[in-house]
Amino acid sequence: MTQASSTISKRQMSDFMSQHGLPPAFRRVAEQYYLPLANALPNMRKQNVPLLLGLNGAQGTGKSTLADFLRLATASMFDWNVAVLSIDDFYYTHKERQTLAEEVHPLLSTRGVPGTHDTDMLASCLDKLRRAGSEDNLALPRFDKATDDRANESRWPAVTGPIDLVILEGWCVGTAAQADNDLDEPVNALEREEDAQGAWRHYVNDQLRSNYEPIFGQLDSLIFIGAPSFDAIFRWRLEQEGKLADASPLGSSGLMNREQIARFIQFYERLTRVNLATLPNRADFVIELDDTHAVLSCTSPGRRRK
């Protein structure tokens, strides 16, 4: 299909920023970094085959915003039909995770790490999106974090084929398993006190190697949004929870305090640190953030993973 434009309209940009509650500075970021990124995508696509784009970033790095912007930009500029998936929407049900907690390790009752997603469902969904024709109407799974369970199928959005671009975003998308001996030393208090024998982290690593890497290996391209440090990610999460409390009529009721947040992010710490160390050299595009969430650069190391 012939490219109609290399940019989006001012009205589209304004509407997008309003919809997502973005500050005026986002316009410069989008024009300087995100639009060139969108314009690079057609060159990565094989003819008549959907482009499968992975998007990795820790909590608070803006994965969802970037994914939605790329959907808007590619739909507007190339008339692409886009499906956006979050790996968060493929968590096992609450009941299934309770079974894992009982049969494998108690920490698996908490969603998030590899091993708590239904990778068979994810693989099947990706396959159906790739094969979708004009007669196919596909429902995309959704997870309800408020109830900690899979949303009723009546609430799943649907897309009609054929699909031009599939964006899979998530904090562990594209993550590689560690060597087994790298798991020996705990990285935080959670691992040291609640996984002293290493059973949880070994299970997570084995699941990543066996069930996640084959899916990630199908990615045509990977974008990594890099936070400056793990400490910054913790601070951003604290700030996010504070803003939620300020905006809520109930204040901090139902939200996590500092100690709860500190424990929660320890579930993600090991692999987040692995990503910060390895993905800048493995991703096709690297977006670097500073301590204030501002984008410093968007580079293309050019090293293909396949």
The pLDDT tens digits of the residues spanning 137-152 come to: 999 999 998 899 999 9
Q: Report H helices in 41-185.
A: 63-78, 94-103, 119-131
285-289 and 82-86 strand pairing? unpaired
Cβ-based burial of 197 (10 A; exposed 0-12, middle 13-18, buried ≥19): exposed
Whether residue 1 lies inside any domain: the answer is no
Query: What is the model's pLDDT at position 194?
Result: 97
Chain centroid offset of residue 234 CA: 17
Whether residue 303 lies inside any domain: the answer is no
Distances (CA, A) of 75 to 12, 81, 87: 12, 6, 22
Query: What is the model's pLDDT at position 243?
Result: 64
Q: Which two tokens stand for residue 217?
A: 């290996």
Query: What is the model's pLDDT at position 237?
Result: 84
Query: What is the model's pLDDT at position 306?
Result: 42
Whether residue 3 lies inside any domain: the answer is no
CATH number for 239: 3.40.50.300
Residue-number span of the structural domain to which 286 is assigned: 10-298
Low-confidence ranges of the chain (pLDDT < 50): 1-3, 250-253, 303-306
Whether residue 139 lies inside any domain: the answer is yes
The pLDDT tens digits of the residues spanning 82-106 come to: 999 999 999 999 999 999 999 999 9
Whether residue 89 lies inside any domain: the answer is yes
b/e map of 168-189 (b: 16 or more CB within 10 Å)? bbbbbbbbbbbeeeebeebbbe
Whether residue 233 lies inside any domain: the answer is yes
Q: Number of folded domains in the chain?
A: 1
Residues whose CB falls within 8 Å of the CB of residue 167, separated by 6 or more in sequence, listed in order: 53, 55, 67, 70, 71, 82, 83, 84, 85
Whether residue 48 lies inside any domain: the answer is yes
Whether residue 4 lies inside any domain: the answer is no
b/e map of 99-124 (b: 16 or more CB within 10 Å)? ebeeeebebbeebbbbbbbbbeebbe
Query: What is the model's pLDDT at position 286?
Result: 97
